[in-house]
Structure 1
């Protein structure tokens, strides 16, 4: 006699499809080292997580960088996208063949090592990738590019650093315009040729990594946004901080929603 409590095959299929439709994409984020009171902490700032959840509609998966690369593929197998954030530390200039010109600035070699490996893994797997500030610089270095270590001391460039004495809201306020490359994905997505952005960085892209192309420039010519030419998956690096009060900034909302949509498409 048939088991009347067992769902029919078509019911199981409908249930599985419904579960799949409700599943949010998982986005991999790495934490960084921050010493506190004699202990090393692994941290991620609240402001980066909130728009990923509330605007992109994704679930963050936080990966510690203090444990090396042994579980890298495990994390990538769980991910529908990679989200590289800013941080207070500078990338080790030895990774792009230079001496350290900013010895007073913190470095995080464990994050450098893990994030560069994750970038290569994400690109190989076709994962959507969104990189902010240090994250964009990591992307550039991972692809063989280099950085201006002291942008404020280089040629025609403005001082893009924040005023450390100013309130946080002022530090993250709109600071300067960037001009979007006409006809580019970013221009189409944001719908304006010029947008105002904040500015909180002492370093910036010098020589672009292999395949990277600019999407936006500051008035002084600095590359402020990049993508990877010929790559179908969402790939965006920005030098500014769209995560800051993102829900109140229509440009930030569009960027996070576009990233979330790309991760949802990947998760299907």
Structure 2
């Protein structure tokens, strides 16, 4: 008797690298792990932000999806040929080195990809785009930052503004509404859109809020907001992780069939 494959798809998440008790540490925030495990129904594994320790060929042959998370750190400006960010800005060169090396290879291999906040920005940079370092300082822009840090952390993820979803795209297939409220915790944003990327949604001030890879046949999506923190009460957030998980299951079936035939 044939049984459906009980194994969960494997999704790699690149860690942030920071200092904890004077030691370099590699870690991922709980919200992403929870959303992947509980909604996408995949097995999340953490990839260290350690370029010498990551072999792309080995990783790609072993996983079914790839997620780049949000982070307190920003992509280093040198990665998109801009003047260095202010010294007070938190950066993570170790993560930049791993995520920006892996991402083009992951996409070329046909793996499903989901990028959130920093991950959305990394997708743009990987395709030759640039970032605006202080969106809130630009004339006519909304303040997309999270606001008062004295509030409980859950309140940081309250909805801040609407997005308009572009008809006919990947995100439009996941939403019953053309306009959706989202949470927004960023001070950087897309300046120049990377070549080969499709705009999936915009904020009322015109800032790009979601993108996908035009030529990709697999699931690819980058969003500037934080669906991982709202999978329990946002239909769109839940739909994003469900669709990503389904895409990873399809990839898993292809990978296992290929493995068995070899």
Same-fold call, TM cutoff 0.5: yes
**Larger Rg: 1 or 2?**
1
Superposed CA deviations along residues 161-189 of structure 1, whole A, max 9, x for unmatched, are 11223322221101100000123221221
Query: What does residue range 235-246 of structure 1 map to in structure 2 within 5 Å?
Result: 235-246=220-231
- Length-normalised TM-score, structure 1: 0.90
Q: Is residue 215 of structure 1 aligned with residue 238 of structure 2?
A: no
How many Å separate the matches in 1 of 2:55 and 2:200? 33
Distance (Å, rounded) in 1 between the aligned partners of 2:141 and 2:84 = 20
Aligned to 2:258: none
Structure 1 counterpart SS, 2:5:
helix
Answer whether contact 1:51 1:247 (CA < 8 A) is retained: no
In 2: Cα distance, 1:122 partner to 1:69 partner: 17
Equivalent residue number for residue 151 of structure 1: 135
Q: Which residue of 2 aligns with 1:93?
A: 77
Kindly report the root-mean-square deviation, in angstroms, between the aligned alpha carbons of the 2 structures. 1.4
Matched, 1:203 2:175: no
Q: Which runs of 5+ in 1 are unaligned?
A: 1-13
Determine if contact 2:49/2:94 at 8 Å carries over to the other structure: yes
- SS of 1:68's equivalent in the other structure is helix
Query: Quick check: 1:169 aligned with 2:164?
Result: no
CA contact (8 A) 1:177 1:219 kept: yes
> 5+ residue gaps in structure 2?
254-262
Number of residues of Structure 1 aligned to a counterpart in Structure 2: 252
Q: For each residue in 1:10-49, what CA deviation from the matched residue of structure 2 results, as whole angstroms up to 9, or x when unmatched?
A: xxxx5xx53x621211111111112122111111111110
What is the rounded CA distance, in whole Å, between the counterparts of 2:106 and 2:176 in structure 1?
Answer: 28
Distance in 1 of aligned mates of 2:153 and 2:9: 31
Moved more, 57-66 or 256-265: 57-66
TM-score, normalising length: structure 2? 0.92
User: Contact 1:68/1:110 (CA < 8 Å) preserved in 2?
Assistant: no
